[in-house]
């Protein structure tokens, strides 16, 4: 949806209100309740929420210039055909390889910690709409959900966006919902 001038701000606020979300922009912290818990992240300057996302995206951000995106997706462990975090990370990378043109793995798997949780990251290059892009895909498990954190940018801009990627990565917090105990028979 492309609208001119002030109409775009009104449209974003309207969409945000309709979905129960508020629209965050640069300098704010977004907090979103997803299926497996709460995801929060600091929105860098020149970024804003991207509300036109599939249902599995808990947080979607886009750089105002449209040359970089950041998405956090959540998937219930029981809905994923993977027996481990490594299996989930591999599935994400394979899905990307099958869905993107000219897929080239640059790095990975890299095992590390993110937001206090074990994480696995792949970095790859591809093309989207005839533009070269670099994608950093990080997978982690929090509680009973897997999360995939995707940061992608035009390859020519990727290195210059390192500080913005650091803001997103370093401020990311994911808290699992407490497990609900089902009542036992006879209670």
**Rounded to two decimals, what is the model's pTM?**
0.78
| Matching CATH number, 6-176, of 3.60.10.10, 3.10.20.600, 3.40.50.800, 3.40.1000.10 | 3.40.1000.10
DSSP letters for 121-136: EEEEEEEETTEEEEEE
- Averaged pLDDT, 128-154: 93
φ, ψ at 86 (rounded to 5°): -60, -40
Mean pLDDT of all residues in 9-17? 25
Give the DSSP H/E element, type plus range, for residue 83: none
Output the six-digit token pair for 66. 């449209």
Is pLDDT above 60 for 177? yes
Domain spans, the chain: 6-176
pLDDT at 161 over 90: yes
Predicted pLDDT at 126: 92
- What is residue 97's predicted lDDT score, i.e. its pLDDT? 87
Report, as an integer, the average pLDDT of 129-136.
91
User: Which residue has better confidence, 176 or 187?
Assistant: 176
For tokens 């886009």, the residue is 62
Better-scored residue on pLDDT, 177 or 125: 125
Cα distance between the two ends of the chain: 52
Residue 14 clears pLDDT 90, i.e. is over it: no
Count CA atoms closer than 13 A to 169's CA, side-chain side.
Answer: 19
Question: Coil, helix or strand for 34?
Answer: coil
163 vs 26, which has greater pLDDT?
163
Residue 176: CB atoms within 10 A of its CB come to 14
- Please tell me the distance from the alpha carbon of residue 131 to that of residue 133, in angstroms, as a whole number: 6
For the chain, the average pLDDT equals 81
């Amino acid at each position: 949806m492309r609208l001119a001038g002030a109409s775009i701000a009104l449209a974003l606020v309207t969409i945000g209100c309709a979905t129960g979300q508020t629209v965050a922009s640069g300098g704010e912290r977004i907090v979103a309740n997803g299926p497996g818990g709460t995801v929060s992240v600091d929105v860098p300057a020149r970024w804003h929420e991207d509300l036109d996302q599939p249902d599995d995206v808990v947080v979607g951000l886009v750089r105002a210039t449209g040359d970089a995106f950041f998405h956090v997706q959540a998937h219930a462990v029981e809905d994923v055909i993977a027996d481990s975090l490594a299996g989930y990370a591999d599935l994400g990378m394979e899905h990307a390889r099958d869905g993107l043109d000219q897929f080239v793995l640059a790095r990975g798997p890299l095992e590390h910690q993110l937001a206090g949780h074990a994480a696995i990251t792949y970095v790859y290059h591809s093309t989207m709409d005839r533009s070269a892009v670099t994608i950093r895909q990080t997978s982690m498990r929090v509680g009973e959900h897997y999360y995939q954190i995707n940061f992608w940018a035009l390859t020519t801009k990727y290195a210059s966006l390192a500080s913005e990627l650091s803001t997103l990565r370093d401020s990311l917090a994911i808290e699992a919902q407490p497990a609900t105990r089902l009542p036992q028979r006879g209670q």
